[in-house]
Amino acid sequence: MKICMIGAGYVGLVSAACFSDFGWTVTCVDKDPDRLADLKAGRSPIYEPGLDDLMERNIKAGRLLFTEKLGPAVADADVVFLAVGTPMRRGDGYADLSYVFTAVEEAAPYLQDFTVVTTKSTVPVGTSREIERRLKAKRPDADVAVCSNPEFLREGSAIQDFTHPDRVLVGTDDERAREVMGRLYKPLALRGSSVMFVERESAELAKYAANAFLALKISFINEIADLCESVGADVQEVASAIGKDRRIGDKFLHPGPGYGGSCFPKDVSALIRTAREFKAPISIIEQVERVNHERKLAMAIRIEEAAGGSVRGKTIAVLGLTFKPNTDDMRDAPSLVIVPMLQERGATIRACDPQGRRQAEPLLPGITWCENANEAAEGADILVVVTEWNEYRALNLEAIKARMTGNTIVDLRNAIDAETARSLGFNYSGIGRGNAAAEISEPRPRPLSADLHSAQAAK
């Protein structure tokens, strides 16, 4: 089977590499000359564990190809995937489909024989039918079926998610397309993975609904963490208890500074706008979006409180800047709100991240960049864990303390053992720990909308 993957970004590249590892021939088409140069040389432009090895193996085998020439790749393909960006549109928060429709317009002239055109990008309900309409207008003679095949990949574990999925979702009402897509995913079906065929609208909405529900779980446990601090409970014990309930599950019940990344913020926003457009508003998800914005501001205020009420003139060591570990992705990372707020209030920032510096440096000016946690801690009054990279879970706290000027740790991910930190003389503050209530004499204020606008402007 021959596949054309239009777009070699995160979704397109991971999907292409995994499909090629099934034995299919995959041609990735991308317009970015720098990205293509890296890809042709076998270098991944993104950090994803295991991706470089997967690419190298399949490039050598001749199954994974990269080109800027769309025509031959489309003409030769059984399946054409649309894996271009669908960023949040400025002004209204809706998904920007201009890249999708441009790809459709450019691919249409080259379609030959029966071809399945399917969206791998996350797109609003009705997009597949609009693509079909545009293809018929452009090429009324083309023998084509349009499907929706959303991805459910987590950054940092995308290859595992692709090769061992909870489910593969295909939206189609065409029997020939069903046969082609069934053959495409047969290697997964033979392993016991569920390949679900549904209506196109169901597939499109399911992706948004899944991400919105996970964002809801994150916001829920973050608010429960705040309550735990007030009543003297431990959020990790609460999360473990409710996570044992199979109706709830233990995933996405880890409190922190709010969600970010390439999917949740834009997908939550797009779902809200779609629901309003169809006059079926979902107020609970609207609240999730608001709570998540305020959460990031509250974390900066928490750090300020831990510093005695002001960070002016203080040096803060920030460990981790990416929105989650095992990725270099900075999109909507909590650090993009927290760090500028601390800088605006007079703090000096020393930061490190195992993979994020290249992406973060242009977004966060004025930072002193360090190679590791020990270097970042040099002369710091406060140490803050923003992203829970594994190496921050096993810090040599004695060495850290010897380098710091102060003795305060604010752990926004509960990555450091609180008991060990306190035994060494640190003033440790985690998230949702019952004893945090005793450390904070005044109730933590709700962030003002003016703070939100200021932080977003700084970002």
Active centre residues (catalytic): 263
Contact 233, 88 (CB under 8 A): no
Closest-CA residue to 257 (of 191, 194, 323, 207) = 323
Token pair listed for 201: 């609208």
Rounding to the nearest 10 degrees, give the CA dihedral for residues 180, 184, 186, 192: -120
The 3-state secondary structure of 316-368 reads EEEECCCCCCCCCCCCCCCHHHHHHHHHHCCCEEEEECCCCHHHHCCCCCCCE
CA angle 66, 69, 70 (to 5 degrees): 100
Place of tokens 């800088």: 343
Burial label, 297 (beta-carbon count in 10 A; 0-12, 13-18, 19+): buried
Q: Which of 355, 345, 395, 390 is nearest to 375 (CA)?
A: 395
Distances (CA, A) of 230 to 62, 149, 253, 418: 60, 44, 19, 18
Which helix (H) or strand (E) segment holds residue 301: the answer is helix 283-306
Q: For residue 3, give the H/E element and its range.
A: strand 2-6
Within 192-282, residue ranges assigned H as helices are 200-231, 235-243, 264-277
The two tokens of residue 358 are: 């290249």
Nearby residues of 411 by Cβ (< 8 Å), 6 or more positions away: 384, 385, 418, 428, 429, 430, 431
| Helices 200-231, 264-277: crossing angle, 10 deg rounding | 120
